[in-house]
């Protein structure tokens, strides 16, 4: 249907080449083709196309054009063509013709009033009728046009619902009403419907949704143990009652069924409760769940609960010098059988009293076995004095060396060390098995500045000679023996002139350093005045730099308040020369 047409004496007509389902209408979003007729004396005139409520997809100066119309409800589309730039005297100059059509659209169109809540009984299996207002395309319905065919309805059913024909999910109908019924029980859900110009404009937008709530009670079942229940202990077989609780009183409950792990056995079941007997092992720690079955055909299952197993615990001494008594906690229903991992070191009676065998020592595991299929509970204990076997006393950085050559009046780490690999040789500082304390014995001319158990910081004697410091490993039962090392001072580069001095040493906050060199004429030591910049660096026992300071003189102070306690190496670097001194930081 041509709503607007303008034709001059020479003839100019716009014709739509894309078919319409309803006269005088176009579909949105889908390209529509138009052509203009050209008069006999068109000559070299230019063609200019314009549209409202749409976009031109083709280039101008063509008799045929493609247009995509906007998806706007109730909008009128208009396409116009103008001849221009004609030769002088050509009568087609400035001639305009137009064609107007209605855009078919329900894009986001709202609904009228409708019932958006339908109260239903969960136990019901009867059908439910839903209805929404009829929806029309804005602008249609005039003479000669079938308005009721302009819109169809796209229904979307929630899970658990279907039509009488058995259709589920999305259903397209020509009706603004639908009859649905539950697949089994009437579960709650949301039914939505949208208006759609289906079979006419497949790419046109849908209307707004009309949502209808099927407002039944959503049943939920929970499972709980009796009040005060904290768990099951080893070998316990006391029956436990579990109860399933519903959040609503429904009249269509058929029965309750239960699932539980292998560590439980069924004693009895009564309606929504069940009595289970535990076997007193960790196998009771599975999921216990209740399933409610309804006469209308569906079922729901509770979230699981996992009962707590309270494990047994062996109590007793960590060290046995002569005898000690062991017991088991959290085992009121079990009978216990005692044993040890090494009867030649420690024996144990049926009452849990353990006795050390004469002069034996070592690590022993005490085990409590039970009269049910539960693994034994264990506890490790040490018997007797500490046991020195493959451990030796070495100086840090000189592992494997005994005797060892050291500098006089210098600080060193002394470690109890074990060889843990022979290819290559790798040593590791260790604690002596069974030792709870260490006593260091040092020569009178040595000083022990710090005792870290199996490690100590010792300052060597200022006098050349041979010395033997040693350390004893001890516990409440006595001493487990000692390890010693021979220290030689004054041999193999152990003595000599110390060019780099630092004081105080030990130091807690500020360290004064002084670098001296022999004077060329007097050969006496003087503070260096070498114009080369001196770099002072402090390194920890692993060789990591923890402090660096640059000075233009050979005498300065270093702030070590932020450096933690321990033994460090101070290096003074001047050109290619390196001077070394050991520093102890102690607070």
Contacts of 444 (CB under 8 A, 6+ apart): none
Pairwise CA distance, residues 183 & 297, whole Å: 9
pLDDT interval class at 198 (50, 70, 90): low
Give the pLDDT score at 532. 57
Q: Which of 185, 184, 178, 175 is nearest to 163 (CA)?
A: 178
Q: Which residues pair with 67 in a beta bridge?
A: 32, 56
Provide mean pLDDT across the span 248-271: 95
Pairwise CA distance, residues 428 & 414, whole Å: 12
β pairing state of 177-182 and 128-131: antiparallel
* Residue pair 419/425 in contact by the 8 Å Cβ criterion: yes
pLDDT tens digits, one per residue of 75-84: 889 999 999 9
Give the pLDDT score at 450. 67
Place of tokens 């520093």: 583
Least reliable range by pLDDT among 55-59, 103-107, 497-501, 560-564: 497-501
Q: Which of 467, 473, 402 is nearest to 436 (CA)?
A: 473
pLDDT tens digits, one per residue of 355-407: 999 999 999 999 999 999 999 999 999 999 999 999 999 998 888 999 998 88
Average pLDDT of the chain is: 88
Q: What is the distance, to the nearest Å, from the Cα of residue 348 to the centroid of all Cα atoms in its chain?
A: 48
Provide mean pLDDT across the span 96-115: 91
Query: What are the distances in angstroms from CA 309 to CA 273, 280, 378, 581?
Result: 21, 8, 17, 61
Q: Is 311 exposed, middle or buried (0-12, 13-18, 19+ CB in 10 A)?
A: middle
Output the six-digit token pair for 33.
């083709």
Using alpha carbons only, how large is the chain's radius of gyration in Å?
49
Q: Which residues pair with 98 in a beta bridge?
A: 80
Output the six-digit token pair for 272.
């929504």
**Which one has a higher pLDDT value, 398 or 340?**
340
Q: Look at residue 383 and give its three-state secondary structure.
A: strand
β pairing state of 510-518 and 555-559: antiparallel
Give the pLDDT score at 145. 53
Give the pLDDT score at 329. 97
- pTM here is 0.65
Give the pLDDT score at 554. 74
Place of tokens 């929970």: 222
**Which one has a higher pLDDT value, 450 or 428?**
428
pLDDT interval class at 142 (50, 70, 90): low
Pairwise CA distance, residues 208 & 174, whole Å: 17
Domains and CATH numbers, the chain: 14-103 (2.60.40), 117-214 (2.60.40), 221-309 (2.60.40.10), 311-382 (2.60.40.1080), 391-489 (2.60.40.10), 500-585 (2.60.40.1930)
Pairwise CA distance, residues 468 & 408, whole Å: 14
**Order of strands across the sheet with 273-278?**
221-224, 240-246, 273-278, 264-270
Residue 8 pLDDT > 60, yes or no? no
Give the pLDDT score at 496. 35
Provide mean pLDDT across the span 45-52: 95
Give the pLDDT score at 218. 87
């Amino acid at each position: 249907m041509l709503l607007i047409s303008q034709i001059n004496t020479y003839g100019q007509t716009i014709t739509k080449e894309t078919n319409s389902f309803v006269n005088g209408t176009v579909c949105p979003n889908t390209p529509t083709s138009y052509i203009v007729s050209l008069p006999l004396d068109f000559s070299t005139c230019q063609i200019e196309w314009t549209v409202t409520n749409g976009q031109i997809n083709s280039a101008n100066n063509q008799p045929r054009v493609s247009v995509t119309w906007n998806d706007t409800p109730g909008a009128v589309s208009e396409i116009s063509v103008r001849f221009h730039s004609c030769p002088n005297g050509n009568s087609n100059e400035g001639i305009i013709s137009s064609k107007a059509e209605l855009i078919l659209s329900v894009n986001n169109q709202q609904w009228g009033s409708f019932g958006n809540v339908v109260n239903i009984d969960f136990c019901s299996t009867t059908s439910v009728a839903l209805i929404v207002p009829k929806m029309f395309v804005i602008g249609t319905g005039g003479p000669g046009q079938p308005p009721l065919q302009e819109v169809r309805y796209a229904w979307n059913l929630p899970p658990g619902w279907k039509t009488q024909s058995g259709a589920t999910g999305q259903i397209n109908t020509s009706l603004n009403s639908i009859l649905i019924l539950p697949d089994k029980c009437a579960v709650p859900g949301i039914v939505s419907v949208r208006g759609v110009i289906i079979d006419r404009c497949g790419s046109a937008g849908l209307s707004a949704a009309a949502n209808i709530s099927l407002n039944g009670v959503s049943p939920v079942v929970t499972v709980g143990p009796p009040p005060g229940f904290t768990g099951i202990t080893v070998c316990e077989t006391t029956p436990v009652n579990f109860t399933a609780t519903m959040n609503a009183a429904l009249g269509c409950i058929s029965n309750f069924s239960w699932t539980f792990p292998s560590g439980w056995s069924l004693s009895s079941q009564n309606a929504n409760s069940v009595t289970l007997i535990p076997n007193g092992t960790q196998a009771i720690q599975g999921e216990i769940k209740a399933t409610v079955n309804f006469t209308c055909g569906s079922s729901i299952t509770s979230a699981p609960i996992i009962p707590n197993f309270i494990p047994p615990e062996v109590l007793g001494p960590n060290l046995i010098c002569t005898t000690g008594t062991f017991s088991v906690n959290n085992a009121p229903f079990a009978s216990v059988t005692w044993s040890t991992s090494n009867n030649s070191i420690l024996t144990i009676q049926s009452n849990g009293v353990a006795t050390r065998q004469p002069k034996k020592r070592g690590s022993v595991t005490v085990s409590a076995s039970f009269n049910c299929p539960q693994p034994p509970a264990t506890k490790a204990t040490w018997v007797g004095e500490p046991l020195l076997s493959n451990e030796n006393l070495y100086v840090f950085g000189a592992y494997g060396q005994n005797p060892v050559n050291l500098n006089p009046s210098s600080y060193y780490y002394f470690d109890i060390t074990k060889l843990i690999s022979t290819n290559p040789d790798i040593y590791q500082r260790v604690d002596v098995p069974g030792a709870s304390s260490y006593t260091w014995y040092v020569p009178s001319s040595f000083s022990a500045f710090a005792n870290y158990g199996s490690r100590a910081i010792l300052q060597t004697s200022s006098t050349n000679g041979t010395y033997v410091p040693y350390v004893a490993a001890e516990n409440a039962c006595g001493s487990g023996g000692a390890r010693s090392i021979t220290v030689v001072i004054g041999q193999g580069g152990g003595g000599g002139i110390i060019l780099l001095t630092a004081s105080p040493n030990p130091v807690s906050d500020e360290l004064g350093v002084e670098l001296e060199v022999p004077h060329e004429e007097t050969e006496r030591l003087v503070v260096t005045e070498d114009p080369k910049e001196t770099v002072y660096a402090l390194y920890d026992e692993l060789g990591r730099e923890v402090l660096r300071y640059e000075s233009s003189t050979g005498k300065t102070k270093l702030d070590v308040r932020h450096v933690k306690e321990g033994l460090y190496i101070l290096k003074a670097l001047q050109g290619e020369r390196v001077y070394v001194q050991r520093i102890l930081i102690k607070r």
